[in-house]
Amino acid sequence: MGFVMTESSGPLSQKLFSTAKQYIPGGVNSPVRAFRSVGGEPFFARRAKGARVWDVDGKDYIDYVGTWGPAILGHAPISVIEAVHTAAKDGVSFGIPNPYEVEMARLVCEWVPSVQKVRMCNSGTEATMSCVRLARGFTGRDRIIKFDGCYHGHVDALLVAAGSGALTNGKPDSAGIPASYAGLTTVLPYNDVEALERTFAEVGHEVAAIIVESYPANAGLILPQPGYLQKLREITQKHGALLIFDEVMTGFRLAKGGVQELENITPDLTAMGKVIGGGLPVGAFGGRADIMDLLAPDGPVYQAGTLSGNPLAMAAGLAQLREMEKQNGYARLDELGKIMDSAVAEVLKKTGKEYQYYRKGSMFCLFFTSKQVHNLGDAKTSDIPAFRKFFHSCLKQGVYFAPSQFETGFISLAHSADDLARTAEVVQQALSEA
């Protein structure tokens, strides 16, 4: 059987995608994978190792998606693979407490400044959902404040003016969410102190919590203005509301203690995930002991999960975190990031593009706009048609960035100086063509 090539996939990927669409909505199990924002069809992965991924047609790519963040050591690191093999020999799941989850809880509480107690779950969505429920149970209030473009998983109360896949699909709000749910969520522009103060002056007594991606990374990568995160901390304390940091992406990636360590901010609750699972499904949430003690079985706030604390995920995550510590990983990643900074600056100069580039540690984003990006509105001034051309040019040359302008890129410890140099060459050619 013959297949027509597209600019984004080979014959076998095309066949798989065609079959997948018969049995999976949209042919994918997460919307942004469908390439709707950039056009064409997705490639299907066969395997991944280090900084590279191979598709089913045999082509390899330098990968800056890193399974959307968890692959901080690179793909299939030996220490993680061996840890999973060892754990699997004793059983892949128990539904009974196991030693790995106790060790993970201890490590999280040691590494994250604000976390006195932590509970494991199975995804970042579960983690943010549980934080919101816990905040409402603790305060006795219903209103939640979130920020335009911040994505906190597909939680009904939080899938309002969201970023990432929802934004990419042009549907920042989802069908199927009752208006009464959305009515309890107030959405503000990120980095806007006046809007924050005005809202608390009007409804501060109703606010259970602010939830924020401390460095929003689902609308590109947006950094807080000086003092902004401290303002969130001060205003919530003043009004008796909780501050929830969504560190699903930034936690354990930018520093051992995440953004709260870097910014010296102590939130009340923190949602975590990705890196602490070593590539396996995972989530966690933790915070002040007096708040966490409201969880069942000790308190009235119910939360549960059959696979929570799964031994394979815990073993993988522990191995990854220990390897990061052993290799002084965060400092090394920042050095790689600085190399990329210099390369991007040189490429932009050579191509004459006045695009905005932001990086923090091993996370980065190139916005196709000359406007400084402080919030979602700024991010949406990006030239999306130019990004589409750029994406496909890079893909054709063997460099894989996320298939959306509104996503963050990730560097891993497996990326080499040669990888970064080759990437700079590809990016220069792609920008010239775009």
Residues marked active site are found at 151, 246, 274
Write the CA distances from 116 to 123, 285, 320, 353, integer angstroms.
Answer: 20, 11, 22, 47
Beta bridge pairs of residue 360: 363
- Residue 343 tokens read as 């390369």
Exposed (0-12), middle (13-18) or buried (19+): which is 67, by Cβ within 10 Å?
middle
**Is 152 within 8 Å of 298 (Cβ atoms)?**
no
Query: Nearest to residue 241, comparing CAs of 133, 117, 140, 112?
Result: 140
**Torsion angle defined by CA atoms of residues 236, 253, 420 and 355, in that order, rounded to the nearest 10 degrees:** -10
C-beta neighbour count of 418 within 10 angstroms: 10
Q: Are strands 283-287 and 269-273 parallel, antiparallel or unpaired?
A: antiparallel
Beta bridge pairs of residue 54: 47, 60
Phi, psi dihedral angles at 146 (to 5 degrees): -130, 180
**Is 70 within 8 Å of 275 (Cβ atoms)?**
yes
Residues whose CB falls within 8 Å of the CB of residue 280, separated by 6 or more in sequence, listed in order = 84, 310, 312, 313, 316, 317
Query: Nearest to residue 114, comparing CAs of 261, 232, 236, 230?
Result: 261
Please give the angle made by the CA atoms of 207, 211 and 212, to the nearest 5 degrees.
Answer: 140
Beta bridge pairs of residue 283: 121, 273
